[in-house]
Amino acid sequence: MEQRRPTTVRPEPSHRPDPPATIAAIATPAGRGGIGIVRISGGELGALAAALSGKQPAPRRAVVADFKAADGSVIDRGLLLHFPAPHSFTGEDVLELHAHGGPVVVHMLLGRCLELGARMAEPGEFTRRAFLNGKIDLAQAEAVIDLIDAETQAAARSAVRSLQGEFSREIQGLLDELIALRVLVEATLDFPDEEIDFLTAGDALGRLARLDERLRRVFSRARQGRLLRGGLQVVLAGQPNVGKSSLLNRLAGDELAIVTPHPGTTRDLVRGTLHVEGIPLHVIDTAGLRETSDQVEKIGIERSWRELERADVVVHLVDANFGVGEEDRAIADRLPVGPARITVENKIDLAQRPAARGETGSGVLIALSAKTGEGIELLRHELLNLAGWQPAEGVFTARERHLSALNETATHLAEARALSNRLELFAEELRLAQSALATITGGFSSDELLGEIFSRFCIGK
């Protein structure tokens, strides 16, 4: 019979034979500031606090203390805070030393902590210990770095929702429904001779359909969160002198690229970032795509093609005065198949045409003027449409691995539905779906995955 919660690889604290090593790190950014914080986490830290300050601070109370060197001289006077286990961020004893924020002072304090037996924390080790000690799950741990890295208010709010457990609660709700369904299936397998048909009595296929629908809703919210976190990679492509640099400048609202009437002005990649509905759009202006004997321009064109392979969206610019010509079609044929594509007819101010959006055999076509700005909003909205953005409240931050896990879960549920008349295979697909889903919050997660995730954190987190 199944447990109600997924098995996890992280050990229970009571099962550790040895106390955790004491780790220390500077928790504030490098450079000068009003306050510098050194954070320490480990086993019993009373002796370290006494050696450092001569005091035993009361739990969760800021105490004014002189932080002393080994010879008894004062390094600095500041605040000492003690968060005893298990009521701390890491679940271990934690000390925080709040000193004046000069780089020399905080490094002297860190050095003193290392003299007293602590070791330097690895990147993300404080958050990793919080995860291992059950204070947060893996999705919440990733939300910590997402909050730090947020580029917009919308991204920050979505990261906070994940950090507070909103995404995790959605995943756990899915797991609870999936486990309940597996219980029905296992009961039918374990008692094949019973007169009761557990699958029919428990509406197994109806449960599976409702589970599918809930999974789709969670995926939609997670996909929005991934867009807020990472944004879209938009690459501008086309012949020389079709207005790619002018379009980049118009979108970014700044003179990022040099604009001249001479073809071949842009010889290397120029990048700019703008935010539309809170989504970062990373726009890259490329060298004009043409045959050339100029070695510098040739290198720029080669780099342009490499960037096009990595794009989420390719904006193919053509001149509105001439439309899509033979050379434009040759470029279009060479563009990578994977990225979404928008064809833009630029310079409608010269062609005396109105801004417009239309559908063609190859996709969406937008007529605009990068010079005057007419039609730019049509392009912005189209980029959001291609991203799948739908403004909604309650979006939580998510990562590509989360979307992959949700997709894998959906695939196994679809396989289960197809195999509903073959009970053993039906049960196996449900088990695989649960395993895939549980990786999001940390159940069944490998040490390699944990190492990759936490290595991206800064030292003091």
pLDDT of 358 reads 86
Q: Which of 145-154, 380-389, 431-440, 448-457 has the lowest mean pLDDT?
A: 448-457
pLDDT of 294 reads 57
**Superfamily of chain region 13-135:** Probable tRNA modification gtpase trme; domain 1 (3.30.1360.120)
Predicted confidence (pLDDT) per residue in 260-281, tens digit: 343 444 444 566 777 777 778 8
Q: Which of 128-132, 151-155, 297-301 has the lowest mean pLDDT?
A: 297-301
For 289-298, what is the mean pLDDT? 55
Give CA 41 to chain center in angstroms: 27
- CA 233 – CA 23 distance, rounded (Å): 39
The domain ranges of the chain are 13-135, 148-227+399-441, 231-387
- 119-120 and 23-26: which strand pairing? parallel
231-387 fold: Rossmann fold (3.40.50)
The helix or strand, by DSSP H or E, that contains position 23, with its residue range, turns out to be strand 23-26
Give the CATH number of domain 148-227+399-441; options: 3.90.180.10, 3.40.50.11030, 1.20.120.430, 3.30.465.10: 1.20.120.430
Of the candidates 394, 281, 288, the one whose C-alpha atom is nearest the C-alpha of residue 340 is 281
Q: Which two tokens stand for residue 344?
A: 């833009």
For 49-64, what is the mean pLDDT? 92
Q: Which of 100-109, 130-139, 319-328, 424-433 has the lowest mean pLDDT?
A: 319-328
Q: Render 223-244 in DSSP notation, one character per residue.
A: HHHHHHHH-EEEEEEESTTSSH
Rounded to the nearest 10 degrees, how much is the dihedral formed by the CA atoms of 110, 115, 117, 120? 40
Band (pLDDT 50/70/90 cuts) for residue 130 is very high
Residue 357 pairs in a beta bridge with 366
User: Exposed, middle or buried, 426 (CB in 10 Å: 0-12/13-18/19+)?
Assistant: buried
Residue pair 13/41 in contact by the 8 Å Cβ criterion: no
The residue among 49 and 397 whose pLDDT is bigger is 49
For 85-114, what is the mean pLDDT? 94
The DSSP 8-state label assigned to residue 169 in this structure reads H
Residue 45 pairs in a beta bridge with none
pLDDT of 445 reads 54
> pTM here?
0.71
- Write the CB contacts of 150 (distance below 8 Å, at least 6 apart in sequence): 156, 159, 229
- CA 301 – CA 273 distance, rounded (Å): 21
Predicted confidence (pLDDT) per residue in 359-379, tens digit: 877 778 899 898 898 998 998
Predicted confidence (pLDDT) per residue in 394-440, tens digit: 788 888 899 999 999 999 999 999 998 888 898 899 999 999 999 99
Q: Average pLDDT over the chain, rounded to whole?
A: 81
Rounded to the nearest 10 degrees, how much is the dihedral formed by the CA atoms of 238, 242, 244, 249? -170
Q: Which two tokens stand for residue 435?
A: 């395993």
Cα radius of gyration rounded to whole Å, the chain: 29
